[in-house]
Amino acid sequence: MTLRDIAVNNLRRRKMRAVFVLAGLLIGVTTVVTLLTLVGAMKNDINHKLEMYGANILIVPKTENLSLSYGGLSLGGVSFEMQEIREEELEKIKDIKNAANVAAVGPMVLGPVNVKDQRVLLAGIDVLSFQTLRPWWNIKGKIPEDDDVILGAEAARMLGLANGSKFTMNGREYGVSGVLEVTGSQDDGLIFAPLTIAQSVLGKEGRISMAEVAALCHGCPIDEMIRQISEVLPGANVMGIQQVVKGRMVTLNHFQKFSYGVSALVLFVGSLMVLVTMMGSVRERTMEIGIFRAMGFRRSHVMRIIFYEAGIIAGVAGILGYTLGFTATRILLPFFTESHQGHGVAVPFDPIMAGIAFVLAISIGLAASIYPALLASRLDPNEALRAL
Amino acid sequence: MSYIKAENLSKEYGAGESSVTAVSNASFEIETGEFVAIMGESGSGKSTLLSMVGTLNSPTAGRLSVKGLDVYRLGQDERADFRRQSVGFVFQNFNLLSYLTLVENVMLPLATLKASRREKQLMAYNALERVGLAEKIKRLPGQISGGEQERVAIARAIVNKPPILLADEPTGNLDTRTGRLIMEFLRSLNDEGVTIVMVTHSMEYSHFARRVLHMSDGMLVQ
C-alpha cells in the first residue's frame, strides 16, 4: 500500500467522479489537438500549394525605364531594351542565410530571334531547374538537349512547327524536341532553348535577362529572403510573387488565433470541471482524510494522493485526447482544404503534438487540483473525525 | 521522568459567551508501559482529552509533553510525524475504509513507509494474525462482524508497533463477550510494554486498566 495505491483505489471506487474529471480534460485536450493539428495541416496544405506554384521570387535587372506592357500586351519595343545580370552573380544566392529554403534558381536569357521570317522571343533556360519552377508545364515530347528547343503552343502554331520539326534560327539548324501544352501565360508564345544555346544565339554569353527563384516557404519568411537576395544582388530588382498566398496565410493566421482563443476557453472550462469535481471528491472524503491525518499522514502526503488521482486521470486524458484529436483532424481536414481525393495533406503522427497534449493534460489536471489538494491537506483531523 | 505529562490542559470550543469548555485544567502523568482508563459519562470531555493526548486537538491552554517533548510546540507536519511514529489510534466507530480489504486497511499507516510492498504486506499480515484474523485478510470490512472490525482497527493501530496506543471506547459498539475479548487483547499488548490510554464509560472494562482517571464536566476528579 502506497500513496499511489490509495489514489488508484479511490479512482476505482469513485468511477463517476473520475469520469467527470476525465471528460473535462478530454474535451479540452481533444479540442486543442484538433484545432492545432488542423491549423498545422492547413498550413502544410498551403505550403504544398505554394510549392506547386513554382517560382515565387523574381530577379530582374534594375532599370530606370517603366515597363510598357500591361496584361501581357507589349506597347512598343521597350521590353527588348533590357539590361542584364551576369550569370555568375546568381551564385551569391547560395550564400544567403536562408539558402536552405531555396529549392531552385532558374536563370533566363531573353532576346528576339528570326524564325521563318517572323520575330519571336527566344528564352534560354536551365532546363532542370525549370521543372521545379514550372511544375504545371506539360511537354508533348522531350525536354530539350543540345541543339533542341521546345516551343510554346502559340509559337508552334504561328511558326507551323511540331514535335520533331527542324528549323533555322540565326543561320543554324535546331530541332523541336517538344511542344508545351497551352499554359494560358506568355510562355505560350516563346521558344525555349537550353541556356547556353540561347546565350550563344543571342550573343549574350555569361549574361542573363532575369532569374526566377522557387523558395520553399515552410517556415521561411519570403520578405526576409527577398531582402537577403537584394543584399547580395545590389544591381537587381528582387520581387515576390506571393499576394495570393499571403492573403490565404493571413486568413489562416486569423483562424489560428481564433483556434488559440477557443482552445484556451475550452481548457478553462475543462479545468473548472476538474476543480469542481475534485473539490466534491475532497468534501466527500472528509472522514477518510481525517483518518489519514490521524495515522500521521503529513499534509503533503494528503496533497500527493489528490495529485496522484488528478495526474493519473490527466495522463489518460492526454493520451486519449491526442488520439481523439488526431482522428478528428483526419476526419475534418477534407472539409477545410481542397487537397483531398488522393492528394490529401498527410496528417502524420506528431510526437511533439502528442507530447504537448500529454504535458498540457497533466499540467491542467494538476493545476486545477491545487486548491482541492490544499483544502484536503488543511482539514483538521480532529474536526474531520468529529464530523463522523 | 513521566512518559506522558499533561499540565493544565484545557479545551474550549467557540468564543465569547457561547464558548463551551470541554476540558478544564487537566493535569496527569502516565508512565511508560502504563494502561490508563479515562472514565466518565457522555459529554464529560474524555474523548476530547484523548484527542489532545493524541496530538489531534490543540489545547486552548496547558502543555502536553511526551518523553519531555512539548508536542504542541511542534509544527503540523512534525506532529503528524510524531503520530505516525509513536501513536496508534483505535476509534470508537472503527473507521475502516469500506472499499479496502482488511489487509489493505491495516497497511494504510505504512503507506508513507519506505519499504517494499511485500514487507508491508507481511507486517499487515502479522498484525492481523495477532488479532486472529489471518484467514480473512482479503475480506472487506462489511463482510465481517463488529468485533472483528474492532480487531482490524486494533491491528491497524499496532501494525507499525507504536509505543502508545490510544483507544476511544473500543468496546462501545460490541457485545459484552466480544468487548471482554478486546479488552484482554489490549491487556496483552500492555503486558508487552505498549502504553495504553483508553476512554471508556464501562466500569467493567475499566478494571482491565492499571489506573483509572475519572472525568466529570471536563475536569479530572479523584
Distance from CA of A290 to the nearest CA of B (A): 10
- Whether the CB-CB separation of B138 and B103 falls below 8 Å is answered with yes
* End residue of a domain, out of A240, A270, A291: A240
DSSP one-letter code for A227: H
A132 plus A77 within the same structural domain? yes
Distance from CA of A259 to the nearest CA of B (A): 44
Amino acid A290: pLDDT:
87
Distance from CA of B8 to the nearest CA of A (A): 20
Amino acid A288: pLDDT:
86
- Interface contact flag, B120 A13, Cβ < 8 Å: no
* Dist CA A285 CA B98 (whole Å): 12
Instruction: Give B 33-92 residues with CB within 8 A of chain A.
Output: 51, 54, 56-57, 76-77, 80-85, 87, 89, 91
Instruction: Give B 105-164 residues with CB within 8 A of chain A.
Output: 107-112, 117, 120, 124
A256 plus A327 within the same structural domain? yes
Q: How far is CA A296 from CA A76, A260, B156, B191, in A?
A: 97, 45, 13, 25
* Dist CA B165 CA B3 (whole Å): 13
**Angle value at C-alpha B5, between B3 and B8, nearest 5 degrees:** 175
Report the 10 Å Cβ neighbour count for A197. 21
A38 plus A132 within the same structural domain? no
Q: Give A243's pLDDT tier (boundaries 50, 70, 90).
A: low
Q: Give A54's pLDDT tier (boundaries 50, 70, 90).
A: low
The residues, ordered by sequence, that sit 6+ positions from B194 with a Cβ below 8 Å of its Cβ are B33, B158, B162, B163, B164, B165
Nearest-by-CA chain B residue for A300: B77
- Least confident range of A76-90, A308-322, A361-375, B142-156: A76-90
Task: Point out the residue among A287, A295, A388 whose CB comes nearest to the CB of B109.
Answer: A295
Domain that holds residue A169: 54-240
Q: Beta partners for B23?
A: B11
Is the predicted pLDDT of residue A46 greater than 50, yes or no? yes
Nearest to B170 by CA among B178, B159, B162: B178
Tally DSSP H helices, then E strands, for chain A.
Answer: 11, 14
| Amino acid identity for residue B170 in this structure | P
* Dist CA A131 CA B207 (whole Å): 105
Measured distance between the N- and C-terminal CA atoms of chain B, rounded to whole angstroms: 22
Q: Provide, as residue numbers in chain A, all residues whose Cβ is less than 8 Å from the Cβ of B57.
A: 382
State mean pLDDT over A341-346.
54
Report the 10 Å Cβ neighbour count for B152. 26
A44 plus A178 within the same structural domain? no
* Dist CA A71 CA A215 (whole Å): 25
- Indicate if ipTM > 0.90: no
Q: Give A77's pLDDT tier (boundaries 50, 70, 90).
A: very low
Task: Point out the residue among A13, A298, A388 whose CB comes nearest to the CB of B99.
Answer: A13
b/e per residue, A265-296, with b = 16+ CB within 10 A? ebbeebbebbbebbbebbeebbbbbbbbbbbb
Residue, of A240 and A341, whose pLDDT is higher: A240
b/e per residue, A305-334, with b = 16+ CB within 10 A? bbbbbbbbbbebbbebbbbbbbebbbebbe
Nearest-by-CA chain B residue for A380: B56
Please give the backbone phi and psi of residue B84, each rounded to the nearest 5 degrees, phi first: -65, -35
Q: Provide, as residue numbers in chain A, all residues whose Cβ is less than 8 Å from the Cβ of B110.
A: 1
- Interface contact flag, A1 B76, Cβ < 8 Å: no
**Grid cell at residue A91:** 551564385
State mean pLDDT over A318-328.
91
Q: Is A379 on the interface with B (CB under 8 A)?
A: no
Amino acid A251: pLDDT:
74
Task: Point out the residue among A294, A298, A388 whose CB comes nearest to the CB of B89.
Answer: A294
pTM listed for this prediction: 0.67
- Interface contact flag, B100 A300, Cβ < 8 Å: no
A39 plus A88 within the same structural domain? no
Distance from CA of A253 to the nearest CA of B (A): 51
**Grid cell at residue A45:** 496544405
* Dist CA B101 CA B107 (whole Å): 10
Please give the backbone phi and psi of residue A194, each rounded to the nearest 5 degrees, phi first: -55, 145
- Least confident range of A131-140, A255-264, B93-102, B130-139: A131-140
Amino acid A73: pLDDT:
47
A77 plus A204 within the same structural domain? yes
Share of chain A above pLDDT 70, in %: 85
- Select the residue from B23, B76, B165 to test the A interface by mutation, using most A Cβ atoms within 10 A: B76
Q: Using CB atoms within 10 Å of the CB of residue B80, give its burial: 0 to 12 exposed, 13 to 18 middle, 19+ buried.
A: buried
- Interface contact flag, A9 B100, Cβ < 8 Å: yes
A213 plus A289 within the same structural domain? no
Distance from CA of B115 to the nearest CA of A (A): 10
Amino acid A341: pLDDT:
45
Q: Beta partners for A119?
A: A114
Q: Radius of gyration over alpha carbons of chain B, in Å?
A: 17
- Interface contact flag, B80 A297, Cβ < 8 Å: yes
b/e per residue, A72-107, with b = 16+ CB within 10 A? eeeeeeeeeeeebbebebbeebeebebeebbbbbbb
Amino acid A221: pLDDT:
67
Q: Give A286's pLDDT tier (boundaries 50, 70, 90).
A: confident
State mean pLDDT over A328-348.
69
* Dist CA B30 CA B83 (whole Å): 17
A133 plus A278 within the same structural domain? no
Residue, of A305 and A97, whose pLDDT is higher: A305
A102 plus A166 within the same structural domain? yes
Secondary structure element (H or E) that encloses residue A187, with its range: none
How many domains in chain A? 2
DSSP one-letter code for A89: G
A227 plus A306 within the same structural domain? no
Q: Give A75's pLDDT tier (boundaries 50, 70, 90).
A: very low
Please give the backbone phi and psi of residue A310, each rounded to the nearest 5 degrees, phi first: -65, -40
Task: Point out the residue among A6, A301, A382 whose CB comes nearest to the CB of B56.
Answer: A382
A25 plus A103 within the same structural domain? no
- Interface contact flag, B81 A1, Cβ < 8 Å: no
Secondary structure element (H or E) that encloses residue A2, with its range: none
A34 plus A68 within the same structural domain? no
Domains plus CATH for chain B?
Answer: 35-56+77-221 (3.40.50.300)
Q: Give A38's pLDDT tier (boundaries 50, 70, 90).
A: confident
Report the 10 Å Cβ neighbour count for A352. 7
* End residue of a domain, out of A224, A240, A256: A240
Helix/strand/coil (H, E, C) string of chain B?
A: CCCEEEEEEEEEECCHHHCEEEEEEEEEEECCCCEEEEEECCCCCHHHHHHHHCCCCCCCEEEEEECCEEHHHCCHHHHHHHHHHHEEEECCCCCCCCCCCHHHHHHHHHCCCCCCHHHHHHHHHHHHHHCCCHHHCCCCHHHCCHHHHHHHHHHHHHCCCCCEEEEECCCCCCCHHHHHHHHHHHHHHHHCCCEEEEEECCHHHHCCCCEEEEEECCEEEC
- Interface contact flag, B95 A385, Cβ < 8 Å: yes
- Whether the CB-CB separation of A329 and A35 falls below 8 Å is answered with no
* Dist CA A288 CA A376 (whole Å): 10
Given a cut of 50, the residues of chain B with pLDDT beneath it are none
Amino acid B34: pLDDT:
92
DSSP one-letter code for A65: S
**How many residues are there in chain B?**
222
Q: Provide, as residue numbers in chain A, all residues whose Cβ is less than 8 Å from the Cβ of B83.
A: 294-296
**Grid cell at residue A67:** 515597363
DSSP one-letter code for A352: H
Is the predicted pLDDT of residue A247 greater than 70, yes or no? no
Residue, of A96 and A340, whose pLDDT is higher: A96
Is the predicted pLDDT of residue A30 greater than 60, yes or no? yes
| Amino acid identity for residue B56 in this structure | L
